[in-house]
Amino acid sequence: MRWDQRYAEGSHPPGAGPDWISELELDLPCGRALDLASGTGTVALWLAAQGYSVLAVDVSAVGLERASAEAQKRELALKIQVLDLASESLPEGRFDLISCFHYLQRDLFAAVIEALAPGGCFICEIPTRLNLERHARPSQRFLLEEGEILELCAALVPLYHAEGWFEDRGLARFIGRRTH
């Protein structure tokens, strides 16, 4: 309900997608994508514009409706599903790409890795403790420790990993591939 209220008040408008991914020139699999904690759909919309068949999931129906409306406006195919990641399982099936931006739920990583198709990639951008040097939010429990993303994704082959300041945010960025 808290996120529904925030989104209804107009917070978190869909912004520019994660252009840092395309700058890497990696051979990412195309196909079916799952965007976790999608909010108003910034990453989901970006993935749809790249040609992925995207399922955006979030706890907020209001945020997802905003994402869906923006997808229609841009003539992008986007499916949405209200899902509380803290208490519900990931959608069924395997995905060629799973993204998770600015959301940390440590016990979700094993399920994410399992939901990747062989050769599939996981892409994430999550704030780290470094962020507290300039920003009070998110609180410490929603922040990664230095290098923790590599531990959480140890079952994946890292294609890209960087931690530090990006656009005035302390972040960990990671892309990894499931080999089997």
What is the predicted pLDDT for the residue at 15?
63
Whether pLDDT at 12 is above 70: no
**What are the residue boundaries of the structural domains of the chain, listed by start?**
29-177
What is the predicted pLDDT for the residue at 174?
98
Whether pLDDT at 91 is above 90: yes
Answer positive or negative: Cα dihedral of 104, 107, 108, 113.
positive
Tell me the pLDDT tens digit for each residue of 24-80: 989 898 999 999 999 999 999 999 999 999 999 999 999 999 999 999 999 999 999
* Own/partner pairs, 99-102, CB within 8 angstroms, 24+ separation: 99/33, 99/34, 99/35, 99/36, 99/43, 99/44, 99/47, 99/123, 99/124, 100/35, 100/36, 100/37, 100/124, 100/126, 101/18, 101/37, 101/42, 101/43, 101/125, 101/126, 102/37, 102/126, 102/127
Q: What percent of the chain has pLDDT over 70?
A: 91
The backbone torsions φ and ψ at residue 125, rounded to the nearest 5 degrees and listed phi first, read -140, 110
Tell me the CATH number for domain 29-177.
Answer: 3.40.50.150
